[in-house]
Amino acid sequence: MTNPMHDEHHDHLGSKMGMWLFIFTELFLFGGLFLVYAIFRSKYGEDFHHAAEELNVFIGTLNTVVLLISSMTVAMSISAIQKGDSGRAIRLLLLTIVLALVFMVNKYFEWGHKFEFKLYPGSPVLGNLPKGELLFFGLYFMMTGLHALHVVIGCVLLGITIPKIAKKQITSERYTFHENAGLYWHLVDFIWIFLFPMMYLIT
Amino acid sequence: MEKHHISSYTSHGIVLTVLLTLTALSVTIAELHLGAISVAVALLVASIKGTTVLTYFMHLKYESTFFKVMVAGVFAMYALIIIFTFFDYIFR
């Protein structure tokens, strides 16, 4: 240990295990919604088909690519900190946050486009759609919205990591916080990997 | 702190390339409108992508067996929940 000032109660393995346990709760949070989707899809196949065709596959694919790249930049930033290259680790984290913002801007335009057509939770237009389509859009807004919230939280976590690296609180000897923030970001990517085909591809 | 495996930048690049290729494959197959098969293919490709993220980006490959078992157990539990729910839904 290079920094005896902060040695008290530091448990890398325990912290990481705690992070994984938290990730499991997140997986079940989204897993429950996936299950609701699967059941209603099997019940209202036709309606889900029509509703899913309304979604923009291009913007969905673009956001998938953006998130996958951001997942790589986070993984690279952890490699960088392990090698002791703080500068590069910070630059890669900044790049990740920029990519996350690109994701959110795309989401803004995507949702904005839906709102223009009066498609938003609780709208009269949505209420008059067949039951299955209403359910699809309900799940679409709920799941992509909850996912977007996770993108924002992930950005905050990565944003907290950067000054910690700059202040040498995160070093090649001790990067648990950085690693856990990275795990959270990968979780955001992992969930999107399943959301994307369910919402945009399977029509 | 105990020594950890450090993934190279190149290996992260390779993982990304694989993930992007699988995404392109998934979108292409969806465009063909193959009906029920496209659902299975989309979910299969997503599962491969998800496993790749867990294994390499989330570093599970280099974690102790305990972590691997824990994660596998959670997914097994989730699979059981899906199966039981559908059994209940179909045969009720």
**Kind and range of the H or E run holding A39:** helix A12-43
What is the rounded distance in angstroms from the CA atom of residue A3 to the CA atom of residue A6?
6
Spell out a b/e string for B70-88, using b for 16 or more CB atoms within 10 Å of the CB, else e: bbeebbeebeeeeeeeeee
Chain B: nearest CA to A186, how far in angstroms?
A: 7
pLDDT grade, residue A141 (50/70/90)? Answer: very high
B63-91 residue pLDDT tens: 999 999 999 999 999 999 999 999 999 99
Q: Distance of CA A139 to CAs A30, A38, A42, A135, B14, Å?
A: 11, 11, 14, 6, 34
Domain span at A153: 23-201
Q: What percent of chain B has pLDDT over 70?
A: 97
Residue B48 is predicted with a pLDDT of 97
Residue A1 is predicted with a pLDDT of 47
Compare all CA atoms of chain B with the CA of A195 and give the residue at the minimum distance: B46
In a domain, A6, yes or no: no
CATH number of the domain that residue A197 is part of: 1.20.120.80
Mean pLDDT confidence for A143-149: 97
Residue of A67, A193, A194, A198 best to disrupt the B interface, most CBs of B under 10 A:
A193
Which of these, A131, A135, A177, lies nearest to A158 by C-alpha position?
A177
A82-95 residue pLDDT tens: 999 999 999 999 99
Smallest Cβ–Cβ distance between B23 and the set A61, A71, A179 belongs to A61
Q: Are residues A43 and B32 in contact, defined by beta-carbon separation less than 8 angstroms? A: no
Mean pLDDT confidence for A10-34: 95
In a domain, A130, yes or no: yes
Q: Could you give the angle at which helices A45-53 and A131-166 cross, rounded to 10 degrees?
A: 50
Mean pLDDT confidence for A63-68: 97
Whether the pLDDT of residue A5 is over 70: the answer is no
Residue B42: partners with Cβ closer than 8 Å, 6 or more residues away: A197, A198, A201, A202, B26, B29, B30
Across the A:B interface, residue pairs with CB atoms under 8 Å apart total: 100
Whether the pLDDT of residue A167 is over 50: the answer is yes
The count of structural domains within chain A is 1
Which of these, A39, A70, A63, A34, lies nearest to A154 by C-alpha position?
A70
In a domain, A141, yes or no: yes
Is B46 in Cβ contact with A20 (below 8 Å)? no
Query: What would the 3-class secondary structure string for chain B be?
Result: CCCCCCCCHHHHHHHHHHHHHHHHHHHHHHHCCCCHHHHHHHHHHHHHHHHHHHHHHCCHHHCCHHHHHHHHHHHHHHHHHHHHHHHHHHHC
What is the rounded distance in angstroms from the CA atom of residue B5 to the CA atom of residue B25?
31
Place of tokens 């009066």: A118
What is the rounded distance in angstroms from the CA atom of residue B71 to the CA atom of residue A116?
42
Chain B: nearest CA to A124, how far in angstroms?
A: 30
Mean pLDDT confidence for A123-151: 94
Mean pLDDT confidence for A163-182: 95
Smallest Cβ–Cβ distance between B6 and the set A68, A83, A190 belongs to A83
Chain A: nearest CA to B9, how far in angstroms?
A: 6
Whether the pLDDT of residue B4 is over 90: the answer is no
Taken as a whole, chain B contains a residue count of 92
Q: Are residues B53 and B19 in contact, defined by beta-carbon separation less than 8 angstroms? A: yes
